[in-house]
Amino acid sequence: MRALPKESIQEVFEAVDREEADYGVVPIENSTEGSVNRTLDMLIESGVKICGEILIRVSHALLSRSGRSEEIRTIYSHSQALEQCRVWLRTNFPKVPLSETVSTAKAAQMAGEDGEAAAIASPFAARLYGLKVIASQIEDRFHNYTRFLVLGHQLAEQMGRDKTSILFSISHAPGSLFRVLKTFAEKGVNLTKIESRPAKDKPWEYIFFVDFEGHSADAHIREVMDELVENVLFMKILGSYPQSS
């Protein structure tokens, strides 16, 4: 199996969509900073399926070419990584400008090209881009986990401990969202996540993302989906896949 590095979440979606890659991995939410909005937006636009999830404890390091903190004039990283290290940065580099990049890997690449820059990225990125570690485990919270989605073209088979992700929109009418959520409750289906994002082409309208336990092929989940269709403007099944432990 060969890995294809991509600089942004959008590029990962596009590589899978165009079948340049069989699978792609993108972050969907962090236990400290919440959902990754770019991934949510791409799930609306893209035709790829979610076929798996991965839960990883994320530890950040400060990297630079020289490994000397006194030479740092700029710190690069993805917005989520900067937020996850906010207190540490304020304490140790209060006057150094922070600059957002499309990914932590891109930040490491940029630090490798600029002797006065540092990057917040993984220790693996240090080996990949020839950088030295200035400080390790700089995240503000030890229990800092990120959930990643595995993207592909096929739904995963039933494994007995599954999760399904959908998105839908509803009308602006009293009780619209309640009727949707009531369907899950009446069928005894446990929701594990609910999130909303603005509909880009319709101001003040929203698209809801819901994760719940069960596989779209399960009989009781099919019943839920049949009832939901009657109470939403549109619905899209993003995928069913084994739950991460």
Residue range 188-205: mean pLDDT, rounded:
89
Does residue 118 share a domain with residue 94? yes
Those residues whose C-beta lies under 8 Å from the C-beta of residue 194, and which sit 6 or more positions away, are 181, 208, 209, 210, 211
Q: What is the rounded CA–CA span in Å between residue 63 and residue 66? A: 9
Q: Which of 190, 165, 133 is nearest to 52 (CA)?
A: 165
CATH label of the domain that carries residue 24 = 3.40.190.10
Give the confidence band of 36 by pLDDT, cuts at 50, 70, 90.
Answer: very high
**Which of 154, 185, 217 is the C-terminal boundary of a domain?**
154
Please pick, among 32, 101, 148, 168, the residue that the annotation labels catalytic: 148
Residue range 18-28: mean pLDDT, rounded:
94
Residue pair 67/132 in contact by the 8 Å Cβ criterion: yes
Between 37 and 6, the more confident residue is 37
Given a cut of 80, whether residue 162 has pLDDT beyond it is: yes
CATH label of the domain that carries residue 164 = 3.30.70.260
Our answer to whether residue 39 is catalytic in this structure is no
Does residue 121 share a domain with residue 12? no
**For the residues of 9-62, what is the DSSP string, one character each?**
HHHHHHHHHTTSSS-EEEEEEETTTEE-HHHHHHHHH---EEEEEEEEE---EE
Does residue 245 share a domain with residue 171? yes
Residue range 229-242: mean pLDDT, rounded:
95
> Which pLDDT tens digit goes with each residue over 92-149?
999 999 999 988 989 999 999 999 999 999 999 999 899 999 999 999 998 989 999 9
Please pick, among 32, 39, 146, 183, the residue that the annotation labels catalytic: 146
**Which of 105, 123, 154 is the C-terminal boundary of a domain?**
154
Does residue 73 share a domain with residue 44? no
Does residue 227 share a domain with residue 172? yes
Does residue 123 share a domain with residue 148? no
| pLDDT of res. 201 | 79
| pLDDT of res. 135 | 97
Domain range holding 196?
A: 156-245
Does residue 148 share a domain with residue 38? yes
Does residue 107 share a domain with residue 12? no
Number of domains in the chain: 3
**Which of 95, 126, 154 is the C-terminal boundary of a domain?**
154
Give the confidence band of 196 by pLDDT, cuts at 50, 70, 90.
Answer: very high
pTM of the model: 0.85
Q: What is the rounded CA–CA span in Å between residue 117 and residue 96? A: 10
Does residue 149 share a domain with residue 49? yes
Residue pair 111/74 in contact by the 8 Å Cβ criterion: no
Does residue 191 share a domain with residue 174? yes
Given a cut of 80, whether residue 211 has pLDDT beyond it is: yes
User: DSSP E strands: which ranges in 122-190?
Assistant: 132-135, 145-152, 162-169
Given a cut of 90, whether residue 83 has pLDDT beyond it is: yes
Q: Over the chain, what is the mean pLDDT?
A: 93
Our answer to whether residue 146 is catalytic in this structure is yes
Residue pair 243/163 in contact by the 8 Å Cβ criterion: yes
Q: What is the rounded CA–CA span in Å between residue 170 and residue 162? A: 26
Does residue 182 share a domain with residue 84? no
Does residue 126 share a domain with residue 222? no
